[in-house]
Structure 1
Amino acid sequence: MKIKKLFSTSIVCFVLIICSSSAKLTEHTTSKPIPAIKEAMYFPPFNSDTWETKSIASLGWHQDKVQDLLDYLQTKNSRSFMILQNGRVVMENYFGGHTSRTPWYWASTGKTLTSTVTGIAEQEGFLNTNNKVSVYIGTGWTSEPLAKENLIICKNLLTMTSGLDDSMGNDVSSAHLQYKADAGTRWAYHNVYVKLQDVVAAATGQSWSSYFNTKLRDKIGMTGAWIQSGNNSVYWSNTRSMARFGLMALNKGNWSGTQVINPQYFQDATSTSQTLNLSYGYLWWLNGKASYHLPQTQFQFNGKLIPSAPDDLFCALGKNDQKIYVVPSKKLVIIRMGKSADNMNFARSDFDEVLWQKINSVIN
């Protein structure tokens, strides 16, 4: 009888121990937050009009502020506007008969295409951006004394520090490329950057368009072409092609696992490249810096390029308000194409600041 009672007591104790341990284990495991599933970056397929989308509501954005943003864009002569978040389309709007297939000019936003392809040519060993420009296209490409011309390296063209006179207009024939200061001592927005296209062509033994198409355009599924306009070659494409390039930029030169451009070069391109204009990289504009310069002036403005935009934003800005905004912290790419919002301008304008106030009302 005593043995039976002892056995029963042992069974009860064993059960109590097991239950207590299970309760502690349950308490321990359920107290930890369940980690969120990280969403993969989306890259749209080639030759497809179907892109993955996200709703305003799914992101917790403010649907009630969207119409105000669209009204502002339409009032300011926009033709297209697009927001990608983590690669997926959140907003895609067209105005004035413009469609997803309508080509439009990039203007100076295309400078970033030139910057990127120059970097690709360097990583493939065709050129060195620390070499003199004349190494690739010969001497006499400016009207400067040879000693002054030989100071200009490819990186000076990438950073707008050639020292050439920016008051001579957009003509980049040698007669119009005149000495103003030694290379590297003066920042001035100048069309001479297009000489990098000649450098790439000479270094690779291919036409600029052919090398660009093979090494960049076709690798990320862009469409479009370089169209001659006066002395300049201007890129034209639809809005989604511009968005593709912005998405590659968001991913530091990577497209769906393929490293199109060396990530270190791209990091350098989207960082302050010299001390004269803190808000300028390799033909990219940078936000969040202590000061900036604008085209057509030598005046230094204190403060951020676009005060209402995130500090980590970098962007491509083109004549008449062509825009590619990239915000890594928010995984955003924002595109605006159209006519000038106000008066004709060459890069940043008051439109950027007000537009970002409207965007913030939606996304914050």
Structure 2
Amino acid sequence: MPARFIAVVIALSFSFNAWAQAWPDRDWAQAPAPRTAAVEALEGYAFPARNDVTRQGVRTDALLVIKDGQIIYEHYAAPITATTAHSTWSISKSLMATVLGVAYGEGRFQLDDPVAHYFQPMNHHPEVRVQDLLHWASGLDWQEDYEYAPLNSSVVAMLYTRGRNDMAGFTASTRSFAAPGQVFRYSSGDSNLLSAALENMVGPHDYHDYPWRVLFAPLGIDSAVWETDTSGVFVASSYAYMTARDLGRVGLLMQRGGRWQDRQLLPKAWVDFNLRPFEHAVAAPGEATAGGQWWLNVPVGPAPRPWPAAPADTFAALGHWGQALYVLPGQKLVVVRYGDDRDASYQHNELLKRVLAAFGGEGAP
């Protein structure tokens, strides 16, 4: 059989598979799941009556469930609506990793490139590579404390005080505590160094519309807002905003291996890197394991997997105060959860357990 004929058959098969799957249009097709006791149990957990004066307990602002590319469940708590661009907090980190995936596919950088090639202040740390930042393993002595230790917090200083004008430059001025790539230490500073590096990867002229041009527009996302610091660098650690539906589009892209309709928007090698556990990752019980700026439901050492109610291939983008984008590939599920949780009431595993009971179907654990 001629090679040209085989290539045409493969291309047609790929196009048919993309066409056969449900893809969101501007308004996104809906196929609401029936009301069941399991759905009511999910709502009882996600949207309980609560005392907003004390801000105690679970407070969900938005919950969206997508299955096979269609919205099957959607609920909001006032004043949040389907058109509200909600704070994603540290989901921003996974969004930046997704933007970087497009740049990687364009040949703008390699994972083992020194970060200093793209951001000159990192000349003080010449051995730090791009992949080290993606693993939160720069070796920089960073303290990711928020309300609990604000005076010692690197991230509070970066976002709100002496580092706020040039967040990547502030991070680059941090001393080292370990060799790059050898120790996991979660760091919003590492994520902002990636954002600063992206500026020189794509060029200053293209940088400020790059996420919209290469990722948001192809996915049909029109609600995205991404704040910059005073130096003009996107705050990749914290300050992206979008609607639940638009964030769900990013989840669907990842659930389908970086493909969007008939286009491989993210290289498969990039998605594989995102979803591969960092070999030096550490995690407390119940905490997800670091991949490439995404979080994985795989155990560290002999411990059980972080979310035992969910399949092992579940992965997520997570943010402060309970923001979450969960992807469950085996169930073809994408779940967006926005919230405002000021205590430890909300639990990822509990929500995932109830989502799977309501919508998981075959293949649920």
TM-score bucket of the superposed structures, by smaller chain:
0.7 to 0.9
Alpha-carbon distance between aligned partners in 1 of 2:88 and 2:346, rounded to the nearest angstrom: 19
1:166, CA displacement in angstroms? 1.9
Partner of 2:203: 205
CA RMSD, 1 decimal: 2.5
Partner of 1:281: 291
Question: Is contact 1:163–1:182 with CA below 8 Å preserved after alignment?
Answer: yes
Question: Is contact 2:226–2:235 with CA below 8 Å preserved after alignment?
Answer: no
CA deviations on 1:184-243 (whole Å, 9 max, x unpaired) are: 121010012111111111121135431111110111011211024799451111111101
Partner of 1:151: 127
SS in 1 for 2:270: helix
1:360, CA displacement in angstroms? 2.9
SS in 1 for 2:208: helix
Question: Is contact 2:83–2:243 with CA below 8 Å preserved after alignment?
Answer: yes
1:343 correspondence with 2:343: yes
Alpha-carbon distance between aligned partners in 1 of 2:95 and 2:82, rounded to the nearest angstrom: 21
1:169 correspondence with 2:174: no
CA deviations on 1:118-176 (whole Å, 9 max, x unpaired) are: 222122122222111101111x337xxx4xx1120011000111111122512241575
**TM-score between both structures, scaled by the size of structure 1:** 0.77
Could you tell me the percent identity over the aligned residues? 23
Question: Is contact 1:81–1:334 with CA below 8 Å preserved after alignment?
Answer: yes
Specify every segment of 5 or more residues in structure 1 that has no aligned partner in the other structure, as ranges.
Answer: 1-37, 293-300
Partner of 1:317: 318
Partner of 1:33: none
Residue 68 of structure 1 is aligned with which of 32, 37, 41? 41
Residue type at the aligned position of 2:349 = E
Partner of 1:93: 75
User: Which is bigger in relative contact order (C-alpha 8 A, separation at least 6)?
Assistant: 2
Partner of 1:362: 358
Partner of 2:180: 183
Question: Is contact 2:65–2:334 with CA below 8 Å preserved after alignment?
Answer: yes
SS in 1 for 2:218: coil
Cα distance change on mapping 1:63 and 1:114 into 2, 3 Å: same
**TM-score between both structures, scaled by the size of structure 2:** 0.76
1:39, CA displacement in angstroms? 10
SS in 2 for 1:141: helix
Question: Is contact 2:171–2:193 with CA below 8 Å preserved after alignment?
Answer: no
1:1-364 pair list within 5 angstroms: 40-45=20-25, 48-49=26-27, 51-57=28-34, 63-75=36-48, 76-138=58-120, 140-141=121-122, 146=124, 149-167=125-143, 168-170=153-155, 171=158, 172=167, 173-174=170-171, 177-192=174-189, 193-206=191-204, 208-223=207-222, 224-228=224-228, 232=235, 234-277=239-282, 279-287=289-297, 289-291=298-300, 302-340=303-341, 342-343=342-343, 351-363=347-359, 364=361
CA deviations on 1:330-359 (whole Å, 9 max, x unpaired) are: 10000001211x517xxxx85102212222
CA deviations on 1:37-89 (whole Å, 9 max, x unpaired) are: x99321111xx32x2222425xxxx7122122112211321111011101011
Question: Is contact 1:209–1:226 with CA below 8 Å preserved after alignment?
Answer: no
Specify every segment of 5 or more residues in structure 2 that has no aligned partner in the other structure, as ranges.
Answer: 1-17, 49-57, 144-152, 159-166, 284-288
SS in 2 for 1:276: coil
1:285, CA displacement in angstroms? 0.5
SS in 2 for 1:166: coil
Residue type at the aligned position of 1:317 = L
Residue type at the aligned position of 2:343 = N
1:291, CA displacement in angstroms? 1.7
Question: Is contact 1:159–1:274 with CA below 8 Å preserved after alignment?
Answer: no
Partner of 1:34: none
Partner of 1:5: none
SS in 2 for 1:107: coil
Runs of 4+ in 1 over 6 A off after TM superposition: none
Alpha-carbon distance between aligned partners in 2 of 1:247 and 1:236, rounded to the nearest angstrom: 18
SS in 1 for 2:336: strand
CA deviations on 1:295-344 (whole Å, 9 max, x unpaired) are: xxxxxx8221211111110110111111111011010000001211x517
Residue type at the aligned position of 1:181 = A
Larger mean Cα displacement after TM superposition, 303-312 or 354-363: 354-363
